[in-house]
Amino acid sequence: MRIDKAKETMTARERVRRTFAFEKTDRVTIGYEANPIIHGKLCQLLGIQPDDRDSLNDALGVDYTHVGAPYVGPKLYPDRPERRVDPLEGCYMRYVKNDSGGYWDFCDFPLKDATDAQFAAYPIPDPDHFDYEKAAEAAKHLSGRYALFAGGAGTPDIINSNGRIMGMEDVLIHLAAGDEAALNFVKRRARSQLTVLERTLDACKGAIDFAWLGEDLGSQHAPLISLALYREHIKPIHQQFIDLAARHNLPVMIHSCGSSSWVYEDWIDMGVKGVDSLQPEAAGMDPQSLVKRFAGRLTLRGLISTGGPLAFGSQQDTTDCVRDTLAILMPTRGYHFAPSHAIQDNTPPENIVAMYQAAHTYGVY
């Protein structure tokens, strides 16, 4: 099985940069995220080795990839039996099986019910312990093939990433209560990430095309926090990252799951150029509403639901969904084609092929 790609008259870098500027491109930009099991099934269907990401990107037409500085410092967090530990956060995961395979789920939150002393003592990665030369080498190697971004959905990701460390209930309570020790810990982590991103951008100067940030602010039905609380505790941290990108003349895209459009006006004022992980079934996130409210002011990424026809419909249902979504979004000239989140393991791989084939068929300007 193969995808018949659209004729291309631009490089990936030109395509991505023009999309952020709301300028006409040859076709929509294309992104891809998937869980490991379904990624393997898709690669098998396409006759590609799962670790050959360049060949898969080429088959799908993916336009951009990440460049980051690898951590080379000492081990910060202890191992635990039957657990994975994240080397930069210290959060723990256990493997949970399901009908489609399984996934690593967060557990054993090390700072749940933490004391002030425990917050102060918790280790944070030292920005000196990252290999920025490796990032520069990667950028040089990849820049002719892809548009490049630095950062990612976990930068700084205050609610979600700290929730993985202290539990979601605790992080929301600490924000609402203004707990000084917890907020100092949040700021300490963010300063480390900001410094790593700054040094990465300096090392890769001229090669990076946009900065990607992240913050999960919505459930499927409503905001997780109030706008006032966002402005008090999270907005000042986000602004530091956006200002850093601005100093490097880079547009910023922010990931946020769920019902998040309530914060977009603030993001526009702060200098954000794009929003990611748009889930059309969440409140206030349908394509028509987003286009009506934000076209020409924010580029939009996602809106091909991982919980709709892609997972539960036929190949034709998937094709129809992509075609109809593109018809709404392409006139904005600011749409990045992508799934609404990582494609899940219960998705038929044939539907993923239909999804990307439809992008090449109907996503041409």
What's the confidence (pLDDT) of residue 331? 97
Taking the C-alpha atoms of residue 304 and residue 315, their distance in angstroms, rounded to an integer, is 14
- Could you tell me the strand order of the sheet in which 299-304 lies? 29-30, 335-339, 299-304, 274-278, 252-255, 210-214, 147-156, 64-66
Cβ count within 10 A of residue 39 = 20
186-238 tens-digit pLDDT:
999 999 999 999 999 999 999 999 999 999 999 999 999 999 999 999 999 99
Q: Give 364's strand partners.
A: 27
- Type and span of the H or E element at 339: strand 335-339
Cβ(31)–Cβ(336) under 8 Å? yes
Q: Is the pTM of this model over 0.85?
A: yes
330-357 tens-digit pLDDT:
999 999 999 999 999 999 999 999 999 9
Cβ count within 10 A of residue 352 = 26
Q: List the structure tokens of 207.
A: 């090669």
User: What does DSSP say about strands 210-214 and 147-156: parallel, antiparallel, or unpaired?
Assistant: parallel
Sketch out the chain's domains with CATH numbers: 12-76+112-362 (3.20.20.210)
Tens of each residue's pLDDT in the chain, 365 residues: 899 999 999 999 999 999 999 999 999 999 999 999 999 999 999 999 999 999 999 999 999 999 999 999 999 999 999 999 999 999 999 999 999 989 999 999 999 999 999 999 999 999 999 999 999 999 999 999 999 999 999 999 999 999 999 999 999 999 999 999 999 999 999 999 999 999 999 999 999 999 999 999 999 999 999 999 999 999 999 999 999 999 999 999 999 999 999 999 999 999 999 999 999 999 999 999 999 999 999 999 999 999 999 999 999 999 999 999 999 999 999 999 999 999 999 999 999 999 999 999 999 99
Q: In degrees, to the nearest 5, what angle opens at C-alpha 310 toward C-alphas 363 and 299? A: 45
User: Residue 365: helix, strand or coil by DSSP?
Assistant: coil
